[in-house]
Amino acid sequence: MTSPSVESLVQREYKYGFVTDIEADSIPKGLSEDVVRLISGKKDEPAWLLEWRLKAYRGWLKMTEPHWPNVTYKPIDYQNVIYYSAPKNKTKLASLDDADPKLIETYQKLGIPLNEQKLLAGVAVDAIFDSVSVGTTYKARLMEQGIIFCSFSEAVREHPELVQKYLGSVVPASDNFFAALNSAVFSDGSFVYVPKGVRCPMELSTYFRINTAETGQFERTLIVADEGAYVSYLEGCTAPKRDENQLHAAVVELVALPGATIKYSTVQNWYAGDEHGVGGIFNFVTKRGKAMEKAKISWTQVETGSAITWKYPSVILQGDDSVGEFYSVAVVNGRQQADTGTKMIHIGKNSKSTVVSKGISAGQGNNSYRGLVKMLPRASGSRNYTQCDSMLIGNKCGAHTFPYIDVQNATSDVEHEASTSKIGEDQIFYCKQRGLNTENAISLIVNGFCKEVFKELPMEFAVEAQKLLGVSLEGSVG
């Protein structure tokens, strides 16, 4: 489609591309056992954790970077990355009021007020800046119900028994190249524990921000919902605009004990690089949950940022009657590449999984859905339904689907539906004839396409996600 009004729309500026001028305590570039020890030392970690890190590091040295994803990039020099950077502050923070005003301002600019009075009612936030957590809100109120929501470092100090019990229980340090790297150098992240039978009364949210140049962010999130508990958790991410690629290799582990429900939503808006593919975040993330008997894990992700996305939020359906869900919208524009999807590993009997993936490709973006549905011999009577839709905008982008289905018993059902459509000139013209301009028309059509996923997001974030989608597709039809 050629329409001058569209061609003249330049790619909208990445709104979150600013840098906070704050003094940072960064360690020199490079990775070695000494660096692992240094990071662990900076956090006053117990010996068992240092050992765990070192083991992961030694394992990582023997591993090779995976090249099976359908993405291309220049080799990463792992010695040219800063593995730890923290904003300097004089003392440990007693409360958010003591935090550096520049940090508070940064989060305000991002639309994340850390002042509890100004917070969205019912959302508790943990803010991670480069390598450390700079503040968690509503902690006291959550604690009244026994809910632990704090930075990972704090959890290591205050609740070592829980961390030791569950760390690596879903994603072992040896799981894959990036998970091993993360296990060696992870700096901070969020920790959540919801006790037996407790329904967490508010959305928990972590906001990740990479600030310092040449820094990698390696956060680690661990969420444990004890028997019959419920928690809904959301993460958001942004980074400054820089010409160099920055590495983000996170690990998220979810443990849903019998009868528990964990809902994990992501709105990922890391800097995507410019229109020539210079700069942007390499988002290489391992996310996995384990659902015990009658437990449910639901992943919802809206992926609009990053130069390269490599992530497969997965569920191990360990228990009988467990439920796994994956709802995804992945948008690529400009030169972005995404290889994303999920793994549903059915082990328990009568376990059920649902996968709804919506891929939108615009500009010269390349979008791949990669999904594995595995029914093990024990998982009799289990079901999976997968729906995988791709939408193409323009004629220089790509959409690919790689479904892997492995059924090892005779009583399970696996359904896979897939569709590819091109956003049509006729659809756009129809909307224009009803008074909508091209941008609003595309936004309307794409939002309709993603409806099934957006309805899974918590209300406030669904609105954000819709706006974000509009912004990331601006200028996409040329």
Partner 1 sequence: MSMLEIRNLSASAGEREILRGVSLTVNAGEVHAIMGPNGSGKSTLAQVLAGHPSYTVTGGEVTYEGEDLLDLDPEERAQKGVFLAFQYPVEIPGVTNAYFLRAAYNEIRKAKGLEEVDPMDFIDVLEEKLKVVEWGPEIMSRFVNAGFSGGEKKRNEILQMAVMEPKLAILDETDSGLDIDALRIVASGVNRLRRPENATIVVTHYQRLLNYIVPDFVHVLVGGRIVKSGGKELALELEARGYEWIEDLAGTGAIA
463 near partner 1, rule: CB under 8 A: no
Of the candidates 160, 147, 161, 252, the one whose C-alpha atom is nearest the C-alpha of residue 202 is 147
Place of tokens 């690529």: 332
9 near partner 1, rule: CB under 8 A: no
Least distance CB 24 / partner 1 (angstroms): 44
Within 8 A by CB and 6+ apart from 378, the residues are: 347, 348, 349, 409
User: Tokens at residue 442, please?
Assistant: 């595309």
431 near partner 1, rule: CB under 8 A: yes
448 near partner 1, rule: CB under 8 A: yes
385 near partner 1, rule: CB under 8 A: no
Look at residue 414 and give its three-state secondary structure: strand
Of the candidates 343, 394, 335, the one whose C-alpha atom is nearest the C-alpha of residue 369 is 343
Q: Which one, 6 or 297, has the nearer CB to partner 1?
A: 6
Q: Which stretch binds partner 1 (CB under 8 A): 83-91, 221-229, 349-357, 434-442?
A: 434-442
Least distance CB 436 / partner 1 (angstroms): 6
Residues between 257 and 276 with contacts to partner 1, criterion CB under 8 A: none
Q: Which one, 37 or 432, has the nearer CB to partner 1?
A: 432
Residue 262 to residue 289: CA distance in whole angstroms: 9
Q: Which one, 164 or 437, has the nearer CB to partner 1?
A: 437
466 near partner 1, rule: CB under 8 A: no
**Considering only residues 1, 76, 110, 405, which one is a binding residue for partner 1 as defined by CB under 8 A?**
1
| H or E stretch covering 82 | none
**Considering only residues 396, 430, 463, 467, which one is a binding residue for partner 1 as defined by CB under 8 A?**
430
**Residue type at 91?**
T
74 near partner 1, rule: CB under 8 A: no
Sheet holding 203-209, edge to edge: 132-136, 123-129, 203-209, 230-238, 261-268, 296-303, 323-332, 352-361, 383-392, 413-422
**Considering only residues 380, 387, 447, 466, which one is a binding residue for partner 1 as defined by CB under 8 A?**
447
Of the candidates 310, 172, 291, the one whose C-alpha atom is nearest the C-alpha of residue 248 is 310
Least distance CB 454 / partner 1 (angstroms): 9
Within 8 A by CB and 6+ apart from 327, the residues are: 298, 299, 300, 301, 356, 357, 452, 453, 456
Q: Which one, 128 or 423, has the nearer CB to partner 1?
A: 423
Least distance CB 429 / partner 1 (angstroms): 6
Contact in structure between 163 and 129 (CB atoms under 8 Å): no
**How many of the chain's residues bind partner 1 (CB under 8 A)?**
27
Least distance CB 440 / partner 1 (angstroms): 7
Q: Which stretch binds partner 1 (CB under 8 A): 14-22, 233-241, 408-416, 430-438?
A: 430-438
Residues between 117 and 146 with contacts to partner 1, criterion CB under 8 A: none
Q: Which one, 134 or 393, has the nearer CB to partner 1?
A: 393
Least distance CB 20 / partner 1 (angstroms): 37
Q: Which one, 223 or 450, has the nearer CB to partner 1?
A: 450
Q: Which one, 406 or 425, has the nearer CB to partner 1?
A: 425
Least distance CB 431 / partner 1 (angstroms): 8
Classify the C-alpha dihedral 128-129-131-137 as positive or negative: negative
Bridging pattern class, strands 190-194 and 148-151:
antiparallel
**Considering only residues 70, 108, 164, 427, which one is a binding residue for partner 1 as defined by CB under 8 A?**
427
User: Tokens at residue 414, please?
Assistant: 């696996």
Please state, in angstroms and as integers, the Cα–Cα distance from residue 384 to each residue in 56, 278, 339, 378, following that order. 34, 39, 21, 15
302 near partner 1, rule: CB under 8 A: no
Q: Which one, 92 or 434, has the nearer CB to partner 1?
A: 434
32 near partner 1, rule: CB under 8 A: no
Burial 390-412 (b: 16+ CB within 10 A, else e): bbbbbeebbbebebeeebeeeeb
**Considering only residues 436, 466, 471, 478, which one is a binding residue for partner 1 as defined by CB under 8 A?**
436
425 near partner 1, rule: CB under 8 A: yes
User: Tokens at residue 294, please?
Assistant: 């009658």
User: Tokens at residue 7, please?
Assistant: 């061609």
Least distance CB 447 / partner 1 (angstroms): 7
Burial 157-178 (b: 16+ CB within 10 A, else e): eeeeebbeebbbebbebebbbb
Of the candidates 258, 338, 342, 340, the one whose C-alpha atom is nearest the C-alpha of residue 298 is 342
Q: Which one, 80 or 419, has the nearer CB to partner 1?
A: 419
Q: Which one, 5 or 169, has the nearer CB to partner 1?
A: 5
Least distance CB 449 / partner 1 (angstroms): 6
**Considering only residues 450, 457, 469, 473, which one is a binding residue for partner 1 as defined by CB under 8 A?**
450
Which stretches within 324-458 are classed as H helix? 425-433, 438-449, 451-454
Q: In whole angstroms, how large is the CA radius of gyration of the chain?
A: 22
The phi and psi torsions of 316 (rounded to 5 degrees) equal: -95, 110
The contact set with partner 1 (CB under 8 A) reads: 1-3, 5, 424-427, 429-438, 440, 444-445, 447-452
